[in-house]
Amino acid sequence: MTRVLAVDDTRALRLMLADCLKKAGHDVVVASDGVEALDQLRTHKPEIVITDLNMPNMNGLEFIEEARKMPEGQTVPILLLTTETAQALKDRAKQVKATGWLTKPFDPDQILGLVDQLA
Amino acid sequence: MLVEKGTSTRFFEPKINSEVVSVLPGHFFVTGEPDLAISTLLGSCVAACIRDTRTGFGGLNHFLLPDADAARSGGFSSRYGVHAMEMLVNEILKAGGSREHLEAKAFGGARVIDTSSSDPIGARNGQFVRDYLASEGISLVATDLGGSRARRVYYYPNSGNVTVQRLPLNETGSATAHEAALKQSMAKAKPSGAVELF
Q: What is the domain-level CATH number for residue B72?
A: 3.30.1330.200
| Closest approach of A12 to chain B, Cα-based (Å) | 6
Residues of chain B contacting A99 with CB distance shorter than 8 Å? 197-198
> How far apart are the C-alpha atoms of B38 and B161, rounded to whole Å?
11
Closest CA to B146 of B73, B45, B25, B27: B45
ipTM above 0.90? no
Q: Please count the structural domains in chain B.
A: 1
* Domains of chain A, start order: 3-118 (3.40.50.2300)
Q: What is the pLDDT of residues A38-69, one digit of tens each?
A: 999 999 999 999 999 999 999 999 999 999 99
B7: Cβ contacts below 8 Å, ≥ 6 apart: none
Give the residue numbers spanning the domain of B162: 4-188
What's the alpha-carbon Rg for chain A, to the nearest Å? 13
Collapsed DSSP state (helix, strand, coil) of residue B28: strand
B192 neighbors A110 (Cβ within 8 angstroms): yes
Contact status of A105 with chain B (Cβ, < 8 Å)? yes
pLDDT band per the 50, 70, 90 thresholds, residue A107: confident
Q: Is B10 a residue whose pLDDT tops 90?
A: no
**pTM of the entire predicted model:** 0.87
Selecting from B83, B89, B198 the residue whose C-beta is nearest the C-beta of A104 gives B83
Angle between helices B79-94 and A11-23 (to 10 degrees): 140
Selecting from A13, A99, A105 the residue whose C-beta is nearest the C-beta of B197 gives A99
Q: For position B71, what pLDDT does the model report? A: 47
Residues of chain A contacting B198 with CB distance shorter than 8 Å? 93-94, 98-101
Contact A12 B74 (CB under 8 A): yes
